[in-house]
Amino acid sequence: MTSTAVAHGLRCFGPQVYEPDRPMNILIVDDQRSARRILASILSTQEGLVLHEASSLDEARRVLTTIAIDIALIDVRLDVDARNRDGLVLVAEIREKSTALPVVVTASSEMEEIRAAMRAGAYDYILKDELCEELVLPIVQGLGSRRRLEHEVLHLRARLAPDTGVQGLMGSSEVIGRLRTAIKRVVLSDRPVLVTGPTGSGKEVVVRAIHTLGPHAGDPLLDLNCGAIPEMLMESQLFGHERGAFTGADRRQDGYFTAVRRGTLFLDELAELPLLLQAKLLRVLETGRFRRVGSTTEEHFLGRVVAATHAQLDERVRQGRFREDLFHRLNVLNVRVPGLDERTQDIPALVAHFCGQQTRPLRFSEDALEALARRSWPGNVRQLRNFIDRLAVFCEDDLIRAETVAAYLEPSQGLVPMDDGLKVMAHSILRMPVANKLDAIESMLINEALALAGGNKSGAARLLGIGRKAVERRLERKDESPEAE
C-alpha cells in the first residue's frame, strides 16, 4: 500500500472530518500495479487531490479505517481468479460504513458486473478499456464537487446555528455566545465530545444542539445514564448480546452502539461508568469496533459519542476511579457549560423562555428580575425553571414583583453567599472596557455611598465600612489624580 497523505488516525471505517478546504483523498483499489499507475497518472494532472493506493480488499479496508477517503475507484476483480468479486464487496461495505463515494472500474464487456456494482451502491463506473483523461476526470471532478457541496452545507448549517440548532439554548451573555461558538466548532468534527458543567446548567441542551446541528441529525440520539443501571445490564444495553449469552438472553439483541446508527450516543453521568466498561468504551473509541456480549465477531460503530458529566473527571482520575487514557481521549473536544452564577445576564431571557412555557400568562417586573439575579442558583437553570413552574401554579398575580420572588424562594436559597457574590461581581468587572478597574470601582463605590448618604462623609464612611478619614484620603487622592484634571 502506498499512501501519500498522513493518516488522520481516525476511529472507524470511513471517518468524516468536515474541512471544506482540505485536499480530496482518492483511493485507487486494483490488484494490478500497472492499472493503479495508469489511473494515478491521469489523476495526478489535477490539483487538490491526494492519491492513496491499495491492492486488495484488506488493504483497502485498512486505508479506509485510517484516512478520510472521499472517492474510491475500485476494480471489481481484486485477484487473478476470474471469479473474484471483492470489489463489489468493498462497494457495499463503503456504502454501509463510510461516506466515501465508490466508483467501479471494469471492462465494458462486463455489463452484469456494472449493474451489480450500481445495485451495491456505486455512484458511477469507469471503463477499463477507455482509461483516458477525457472520461475519468469528469467523473472524479463531478463527485469532487458533490463532496465540496456537502462540506459547504455543513459549514453553512453550523454558521446559521443561532437560528436553528442552538435555539434551545437561551441567553445572550458573552459566556453563552462562546458556548454557541464551541458547539458549532465541535459539530465540524466527528470525534467524541466531553460536555462538562455543574448540575442543571444545560449540558443536555448542549448535547441535543450538537446532535441537531451535526450531519446525522436524521439518525437517532440515544442517551444512556451511566449511573442508573447495574454494570451487567449496562454492558448488554450498550453492546447488545447474542442469544444465550447469559440467563434470560433468549434472543439476539442490538445494543445502543448498533441502534444509534450514524447518530449520537449520549453517555450522561459519564463519571459513574464502571471501570470495566470504561476500558471497553475506550476500545470502541480507538478502533471503531465492538463485540456484542457472547459474540466473537466484531461490528463497526458508526455513530458519535458525546459524554456529559458534572463531576471533576481529572479529580476522579487522581483517585483511580476514572481511566486516565479514556479521560484524555474524551477531553480533546471539551465543551464547558458555565453555571448560572457566571451568567446572571441570561436570567431575563431564561425567565421569558420559561414563562412562555406556562399555561397562563406570567411576567416579571424589572425589580423581580434583579432580585432573581441577586440570588444564588446552585441548581442552576433547572432550579430557576422549577421556581418559575412553582410560581405559575401557586401565585395568583400574573405580574411577579420582587416581594413575590422573596416570598416564594425556598428558605434555604438565600442571597448569594458573600464570597460567591463578590466573585460574580469581580467576573463582570474584569470584563468591562475600563483601563484602571481598581480605581474606577473605588471611585464609583465612594460616589454611590456619598450619594446615598446625602453628601455626608461620615454617613458614606459607615456605608463603606471604613473610617471617615479613609474616605477623605481617598477623595483627596482622586482630586490629585491626572484623570481628575
Ligand X SMILES: Nc1ncnc2c1ncn2[C@@H]1O[C@H](COP(=O)(O)OP(=O)(O)OP(=O)(O)O)[C@@H](O)[C@H]1O
Q: Kindly tell me which of 214 and 379 has the beta carbon lying closer to ligand X.
A: 379
CA angle 354, 311, 426 (to 5 degrees): 65
CB of residue 198 to ligand X, shortest distance in Å: 7
Interface residues with ligand X (CB under 6 A) are 168-171, 197, 199-205, 310, 350, 353, 381-382, 385
> Min. distance of Cβ 203 from ligand X in angstroms?
3
Contact 215, 18 (CB under 8 A): yes
Residue 170 or 416: which CB sits closer to ligand X?
A: 170
> Closer to ligand X at the Cβ: 198 or 288?
198
Contact 190, 233 (CB under 8 A): no
Minimum separation from the CB atom of position 369 to ligand X (A) = 16
Which residue's C-beta sits nearest to ligand X? 202
Per residue, what are the HEC states of 55-121?
A: CCHHHHHHHHHHCCCCEEEEECCCCCCCCCCHHHHHHHHHHHHCCCEEEEEECCCCHHHHHHHHHHC
* Exposure class string for 27-63: b at 16+ Cβ within 10 A, else e: bbbbbeeebbebbbebbeebeebbbbbbbbbebbbeb
Nearer to ligand X, 126 or 207 (CB): 207
Which residue number, 349 or 402, has a Cβ lying nearer to ligand X? Answer: 349
3-state secondary structure string across 326-355: HHHHHCCCEEECCCHHHCHHHHHHHHHHHH
Nearer to ligand X by C-beta: 390 or 477?
Answer: 390
Across 152-163, b (16+ Cβ under 10 Å) vs e yields: eebbebbeebee
Q: In this complex, which beta carbon is closest to ligand X, that of residue 61 or of residue 353?
A: 353
Distance from C-alpha of 216 to C-alpha of 261, rounded to nearest angstrom: 9
- Which is nearer to ligand X, 127 or 349 (by Cβ)? 349
**Distance of closest approach, residue 209 Cβ to ligand X, in angstroms:** 10
Q: How far is the CB of 452 from ligand X (least distance, A)?
A: 36
Nearer to ligand X, 59 or 223 (CB): 223
Name the minimum Å distance from CB 205 to ligand X: 4
The least distance separating ligand X from the CB of residue 129, rounded to whole angstroms, comes to 60
Burial of 82 (0-12, 13-18, 19+ CB in 10 A): exposed
d(CA 270, CA 313): 9
Quick check: helix, strand or coil at residue 8?
Answer: coil
N-term to C-term CA, the chain: 77
Q: Give the closest residue to 197 by CA, choosing from 264, 270, 273.
A: 270
CB 463, CB 447: distance < 8 Å: no
Identify the bridge partners of residue 24 per DSSP, sorted by sequence position: 49
* Exposure on the CB side of residue 208, measured as CA atoms within 13 A: 9
Which is closer to ligand X, CB of 200 or CB of 214?
Answer: 200
Task: Kindly calculate the radius of gyration of the chain based on its CA atoms and give it in whole angstroms.
Answer: 31
Q: How big is the CA angle at 386 (ends 384 and 387), to the nearest 5 degrees? A: 65
Min CB(304)–ligand X separation in Å:
18
Question: Shortest gap between Cβ of 309 and ligand X (angstroms)?
Answer: 8
| Cβ-based nearer residue to ligand X, 301 or 387 | 387
User: Smallest distance, Å, CB 394 to ligand X?
Assistant: 20
Min dist CB 169 to ligand X, Å, is 4
Cβ 370 vs Cβ 234: under 8 Å:
no
